Amino acid sequence: MSLNSMRSLLNRMGNPHQGRNTIHVTGSKGKGSTSAMIGSILDKTGFNTALFTSPHLHSYCERIAFNMQPVAEEEFARGLTEIRPFIEEEMKSGPAPLSTFGLITALFFHLVATRQPKTHWQIVEVGMGGRFDITNVFDSTDIIVISPISLEHTEVLGSTQTEIANNKGGIIKPGSTTILAPQKDMGARSAIARICAESRSEFVDVGRAYKYKQLNQDLNGQNIQIDREGTSIEVHVPLLGQHQMVNAIAAVATADALAKRGVPVASKQIIEGLEAARLPGRLEIMRGELTAERTIKGPMIVVDGAHNHESAQALATAMKQLLGIEKCIFVLGVNNDKNITAIWREFEAMNKFTVATRSKNQRAMAPESIQDVIGMFATDHPDVTTTQSVDKALEKALSVAKETDVICVVGSLYVVAEAREFLNKLSADSNIGSRST
């Protein structure tokens, strides 16, 4: 679905995306976590908030949240019925075919515009890229947030991080404030700074304006000290991993930018909002414990939707630091458009045994293809097998795991979702407690 088609559909609907304060979020990694943290802060401030994110884990309803609660199935269905005439008109005479993502985007704006009480803030996560993403329909926005940028969708967004940054920077609007999370690539930073100057958007370089450090971390989250403009704040974030520190700092910078614009966001709401932020499927410990002696009591099962090499690197680092492990059992499945070679390069040294698998998604990579890549890294016979379903993959991993092992389900969020469903059912059937929520 093209951006022009999205604008055409929204025009038929009366432009429901307009009329309220907007925060638009893009980036390669962490934009979902950052969006959730920002939404949680605004929720604690007392504003009615609407949050649009993708993809979902278990239900399309998860993509649309009001005051941090997924929209009810009844409201979701009612909204689709209400916009159906506009969709049918667009399909008959519109410039291009419509997509599922586009229809849900339109549904989000419709529900926000028609809901009572009135929504004060809408937080919109892009689908892919920025400039040509179908969420890029705003004439003006209050805040632009750009999470860490890395190589992704290079066939569409560009072959370098600078080119990708130029694409993502296409959502920057005149008069907005642009929050740029800390970046590894200075070319990406320079590209965003230039676009801000050209667009007359205030530029906040979080990597330079904010200092932060992790005070401590356990399975319940991490405590972070954040220094900005001569003041210090200590926050607790239930999301695990150093990469979530970066996302939290970007959320804090967003709250500070809102305060400068006259929005009554104080440190109290920032602390409460970050404390309440949740995002299943991101370094989520589904089962198992870490004893006081820092030994695994399990086997422990961790799920994470790391889908590119930098996300994989962050996950590997987090598991080593948090759990103190050097080896683990992987259940690995990705979609066809992912660079499995780059992803596996980050995991190869930690491999004790791997089950290559696939989700039910039509774009899932064949497990045999994943096995072939793993075999390329091995100096002898690699410890890898294949299954054609996530359920079978977990059964296999559990059959070979010892009580002190960690099983890491990783790759596509579709794989993570199916793993969560299987594990929750397994726990319910066996009356074994699960850590998932």
What is the CATH classification number for the domain harbouring 383? 3.90.190.20
69-70/49-52 β-pairing: unpaired
- Residue partners of 79: CB distance under 8 A and separation at least 6: 107, 110, 111, 114
- Residue partners of 343: CB distance under 8 A and separation at least 6: 306, 307, 308, 309, 312, 334, 411
Q: Is 435 within a domain?
A: no
- Residue partners of 327: CB distance under 8 A and separation at least 6: 350, 351, 352
Q: Is 383 within a domain?
A: yes
- Distance separating the N- and C-terminal Cα atoms of the chain: 34
For the chain, what is the domain count?
2
**What does the mean pLDDT of the chain come to?**
93
- Residue partners of 23: CB distance under 8 A and separation at least 6: 38, 121, 122, 123, 124, 141, 142, 143, 144, 145, 254
Residues of the domain holding 319: 284-430
Q: Which pLDDT band holds residue 96 (cuts at 50, 70, 90)?
A: confident
Strand arrangement of the beta sheet that strand 143-146 belongs to: 69-70, 64-66, 49-52, 121-125, 21-26, 143-146, 177-180, 202-205
Q: Strand ranges (DSSP E) for 208-262?
A: 210-218, 221-228, 231-237
- When pLDDT is averaged across residues 84-108 and rounded to a whole number, the result is 91
Residue 256 and residue 364 in one domain: no
Residue 254 and residue 328 in one domain: no
What percentage of the chain carries pLDDT values higher than 70?
96
> Which bin fits 393, alpha (ψ -120 to 50), beta or left (φ > 0)?
alpha
Structure tokens at 277: 């932020």
Neighbours of 424 (CB within 10 A): 14
Q: Which pLDDT band holds residue 437 (cuts at 50, 70, 90)?
A: very low
pTM over 0.85? The answer is yes
Question: pLDDT value at position 265?
Answer: 96
Instruction: Confirm if 239 and 247 have CB atoms less than 8 A apart.
Output: yes
- Compute φ and ψ for 296, nearest 5 degrees: -80, 135
Q: Where are the alpha helices (DSSP H) in 184-241?
A: 186-199, 206-209
> What are the tens digits of pLDDT across the range 128-167?
889 999 999 999 999 999 999 987 766 667 778 889 999 9
Question: pLDDT value at position 428?
Answer: 78
d(CA 344, CA 339): 9
Question: pLDDT value at position 380?
Answer: 62
C-alpha closest to that of 24 among 167, 148, 172, 204: 172
Residue 257 and residue 318 in one domain: no
Checking if the pLDDT of 308 tops 90, the result is: no
- Look at residues 260, 276, 292 and tell me which one is the last residue of a structural domain: 276
Question: pLDDT value at position 367?
Answer: 97
- Look at residues 246, 276, 306 and tell me which one is the last residue of a structural domain: 276
- Compute φ and ψ for 189, nearest 5 degrees: -60, -45
- When pLDDT is averaged across residues 27-46 and rounded to a whole number, the result is 95
Task: Check which CATH number belongs to the domain holding 73 and give it.
Answer: 3.40.1190.10
> What are the tens digits of pLDDT across the range 53-67?
998 999 999 999 999
- Look at residues 230, 256, 276 and tell me which one is the last residue of a structural domain: 276
